[in-house]
Amino acid sequence: KRRAAARTQATSPAEQQLPAHEEDQGQDLVRTYLRQMSRVPLLTREGEVAIAKRIERGELRITKAMSRSLLVSRYLPELARRVDEGERTLRDVVVLPDSELTDRQLNNRIKRLVGDTEKVTAALKELGKRQARAKAVRKSRRKPSVRTLWRIMRSQIEISHAVRAIKFTLVVRRELIEKIEGAAKALQQAERRVERLKQSTPRRKGQRATPNPNLKEARRDLADLREKIKEPADDLNAIQKSIRRGVLEGDHARKELTEANLRLVVSVAKKYVNRGLAFLDLIQEGNIGLMRAVDKFDYRRGFKFSTYATWWIRQAITRAIADQARTIRIPVHMIETLNKLNRAMQTLTRDLGREPTPQELAERADLPMAVVRKARKIAQTVVSLDAPIGDSDESQFGDFIEDRAAVNPAEATVAFDLRRQTESVLEKLSPKEREVIRMRFGLNDGAEPTLAELGEKFSLTRERIRQIEAAALRKLRDPSLSSRLSSFVEPKQPRRSGRGDETPVPEEQGVA
305 closest CA partner among 316, 294, 319: 294
Dist. CA 479–CA 474, nearest whole Å: 11
pLDDT in tens, 376-388: 887 777 777 887 8
231 closest CA partner among 92, 455, 75, 339: 75
331 closest CA partner among 339, 322, 321: 322
pLDDT on residue 106: 76
Q: What's at 185, amino acid-wise?
A: K
Q: Is 449 helix (H, G, I), strand (E, B) or coil?
A: coil
Q: Is 496 helix (H, G, I), strand (E, B) or coil?
A: strand
Q: 381-420 burial by CB neighbour count: b if 16+ within 10 A, else e?
A: eeeeeeeeeeeeeeeeeeeeeeeeeeeeeeeeeeeeeeee
Question: Taking a C-beta distance cutoff of 8 angstroms, is the pair 28, 18 a contact?
Answer: yes
Please compute the mean of the pLDDT values over residues 113-123 and round it to a whole number. Answer: 80
Dist. CA 327–CA 460, nearest whole Å: 65
pLDDT on residue 57: 93
DSSP 487: T
Decide if domain 326-389 falls under CATH 3.30.70.1520. Answer: no
pLDDT on residue 4: 46
Q: Is 27 helix (H, G, I), strand (E, B) or coil?
A: coil
User: Which of the pair, 270 or 395, is modelled with greater confidence?
Assistant: 270
DSSP 328: S
Per-residue pLDDT band at 492 (split at 50, 70, 90): low
Examine the pLDDT at 258 and tell me if it is beyond 80: yes
Q: Are 326-389 and 421-496+503-511 the same fold in CATH? A: yes
Q: Is 495 helix (H, G, I), strand (E, B) or coil?
A: strand
Per-residue pLDDT band at 25 (split at 50, 70, 90): very low
Examine the pLDDT at 197 and tell me if it is beyond 80: yes
Dist. CA 253–CA 400, nearest whole Å: 57
Per-residue pLDDT band at 168 (split at 50, 70, 90): confident
88 closest CA partner among 96, 79, 97: 79
Phi, psi values for residue 28, rounded to 5°:
-90, 95
Please compute the mean of the pLDDT values over residues 274-278 and round it to a whole number. Answer: 83
Which stretch of 25-34, 149-158, 288-297, 306-315 has the lowest confidence by average pLDDT?
A: 25-34
pLDDT on residue 253: 94
Please compute the mean of the pLDDT values over residues 93-107 and round it to a whole number. Answer: 75
Dist. CA 139–CA 398, nearest whole Å: 88
What's the whole-model pTM score? 0.60
User: Which of the pair, 26 or 123, is modelled with greater confidence?
Assistant: 123
Examine the pLDDT at 171 and tell me if it is beyond 90: no
What contacts 460, CB < 8 A, 6 or more positions away? 454, 468
CATH architecture type of domain 421-496+503-511: Orthogonal Bundle (1.10)
Taking all residues of the chain, what is their mean pLDDT, rounded to a whole number?
Answer: 80
Which stretch of 43-57, 59-73, 101-115, 438-452 has the lowest confidence by average pLDDT?
A: 101-115
Question: Taking a C-beta distance cutoff of 8 angstroms, is the pair 455, 468 a contact?
Answer: no
Q: Is the dihedral of CA 15, 20, 25, 30 positive or negative?
A: negative
Residue 63 parent element (H or E): helix 45-67
pLDDT on residue 491: 65
pLDDT on residue 267: 92
Which stretch of 212-216, 354-358, 419-423 has the lowest confidence by average pLDDT?
A: 212-216
pLDDT in tens, 394-426: 788 887 887 777 777 888 888 888 888 888 888
Examine the pLDDT at 288 and tell me if it is beyond 90: yes
User: Which of the pair, 175 or 328, is modelled with greater confidence?
Assistant: 175
Phi, psi values for residue 245, rounded to 5°:
-65, -40
pLDDT in tens, 434-485: 888 888 888 887 788 888 888 888 888 889 889 988 988 888 888 887 777 7
Tell me the longest C-alpha to C-alpha distance in the chain. 146
* Residue 136 burial (10 A CB sphere; 0-12, 13-18, 19+): exposed
Examine the pLDDT at 326 and tell me if it is beyond 80: no
Q: Per-domain residue ranges for the chain? A: 2-35, 326-389, 421-496+503-511
Please compute the mean of the pLDDT values over residues 43-50 and round it to a whole number. Answer: 91
Which stretch of 198-207, 282-291, 460-469 has the lowest confidence by average pLDDT?
A: 198-207
Q: Is 454 helix (H, G, I), strand (E, B) or coil?
A: helix
156 closest CA partner among 135, 117, 128: 128
DSSP 388: B
pLDDT on residue 18: 42
Alpha helical stretches, state H, 232-297 = 233-259, 262-269, 279-296
pLDDT on residue 49: 92
Per-residue pLDDT band at 3 (split at 50, 70, 90): very low
3-state helix, strand and coil shares in percent for the chain, rounded to the nearest 5: 70, 0, 30
Examine the pLDDT at 496 and tell me if it is beyond 50: yes
Dist. CA 368–CA 340, nearest whole Å: 13
DSSP 94: B
